Structure 1
Amino acid sequence: MQNFEKRRDRYNAFASFENPLVNLSFELEVPDFRPYCKQHKLPSFHFFLYHVLHALKGIDNYMYRIYQGEVIKIDDFWASYTVINQDQNLNFARFVMTDDLREFIARSVASAKEAEATTQLINTAEDLDDYQQRRNIYITCMPWLKLSAIEHPIYEHKSYDIPSLAWGRYSAPRPDGKLSLTMAVQAHHGFIDGYHVHLLAQAIAQRISQTMAS
Structure 2
Amino acid sequence: MAGAREIDLDTWSRAGQYRLFRGYDRPHFATTARIDVTALMTQAKPAGVSPYRAFMHAIGTGIHAVPEFRMRFLRSGTGAETVVEYDAIALSATVPRAGDTFGYAYIPFSADWATFDAACKAVIEETARGTDLGANTGERVDLAYLSCLPWIDFTALDNALPGPDDCIPRFSWGKFVGDGQGRISCAMAVQVHHALIDGLQVGRLFEAVQARLDQFRGFSDAA
Q: Which TM bucket (shorter chain)?
A: 0.7 to 0.9
Partner of 1:85: 97
Partner of 2:195: 190
Quick one: which of 139, 150, 161 aligns to 2:146?
139
Shift of 1:38: 2.8
Shift of 1:120: 2.3
Alignment of 1:153-172 (within 5 A): 153-156=160-163, 158-172=164-178
SS, match of residue 83 in structure 1: strand
Structure 1 residue 125 and structure 2 residue 136: aligned? yes
Alignment of 1:31-180 (within 5 A): 31-68=38-75, 69-122=81-134, 124-125=135-136, 130=139, 133-156=140-163, 158-172=164-178, 175=181, 178-180=183-185
After superposition, what is the alpha-carbon deviation per residue over 1:132-189, rounded to whole angstroms, capped at 9, x for unaligned?
x111001010101112222211112x211110011110112653x5432111111111
SS, match of residue 215 in structure 2: helix
The percentage of aligned residue pairs carrying the same residue is 22
Letter in 2 for 1:197: V
After superposition, what is the alpha-carbon deviation per residue over 1:58-90, rounded to whole angstroms, capped at 9, x for unaligned?
101111100111111111111221011112212
CA gap 1:211/1:100 in 2 versus in 1, 3 angstroms? same
Contiguous gaps of at least 5 residues in structure 1: none
Whole-Å separation in 2 of the counterparts to 1:8 and 1:143: 38
Partner of 2:213: 208
Contact 2:44 2:217 (C-alpha < 8 Å) held by counterparts: no
Whole-Å separation in 1 of the counterparts to 2:176 and 2:8: 38
CA gap 1:110/1:173 in 2 versus in 1, 3 angstroms? farther
Letter in 2 for 1:209: D
Mean CA deviation greater in 53-62 or 28-37 = 28-37
Q: Once superposed, what is the RMSD of the aligned Cα atoms?
A: 2.1
Whole-Å separation in 2 of the counterparts to 1:84 and 1:30: 22
Whole-Å separation in 2 of the counterparts to 1:38 and 1:154: 34
| Count of aligned pairs | 207
SS, match of residue 146 in structure 1: coil
Whole-Å separation in 2 of the counterparts to 1:74 and 1:22: 22
Contact 2:72 2:84 (C-alpha < 8 Å) held by counterparts: yes
SS, match of residue 133 in structure 2: coil
Whole-Å separation in 2 of the counterparts to 1:28 and 1:174: 16
SS, match of residue 177 in structure 2: coil
